[in-house]
Amino acid sequence: MLNCIILQGRLGDTPELRHTQTGTPVATSTLAVSRNRKNPNGEYPTDWIELVFWGKTAEHASRWFNKGDMAVVRGRLESRDWEDKNGNKRRSWEVQVETIDFCGSKNENKAATRSYNVESNDFTELSESDDDVPF
């Protein structure tokens, strides 16, 4: 059986890191994904997809991703049955995210304002005559 889903959209919330009772990292968020066809009002409807991150992926998502960031997520679609406070049976669908990648940000200039701790002496300059280049 195959259960693989790949989505691109904007994060509706900054993933908030929590831990289960056994200490497993978990984070949740939503992904706003626009449909590719207009509704009768001439607008493109948006679907809000529930996301669940586990383990290192949860830690990564909560550290590096923020509300409004454009992201690509890959994972599997799962349903969860539950009962509401009135005793009605309900079913929710959520993506169990295996990977998340940047695809832009809400403010494209935001990436230019981020600072990274990279020392210039961390790099080695290659010459054109360097035969160790693998390509």
| pLDDT digits 0-9 by tens, 30-53 | 999 999 999 999 999 999 999 999
- Whether 133 is covered by a domain: the verdict is no
CATH number of the structural domain spanning residue 21: 2.40.50.140
Structure tokens at 27: 């984070």
Quote the pLDDT of residue 103.
85
Question: pLDDT-derived band of residue 109, with 50, 70 and 90 as boundaries?
Answer: very low
- Whether 124 is covered by a domain: the verdict is no
Instruction: Please give the residue range of the domain that contains residue 80.
Output: 5-107
- Whether 135 is covered by a domain: the verdict is no
Mean pLDDT computed over 102-129: 56
Mean pLDDT computed over 69-97: 95
Alpha helices in 21-118 (DSSP H): 55-64, 110-113
Structural domains counted in the chain: 1
Quote the pLDDT of residue 2.
92
- Whether 54 is covered by a domain: the verdict is yes
Give me the DSSP letters along 100-122.
Answer: EEE---SSTTHHHH------GGG
- Whether 56 is covered by a domain: the verdict is yes
**pLDDT exceeds cutoff 80 at 69:** yes
Quote the pLDDT of residue 115.
42
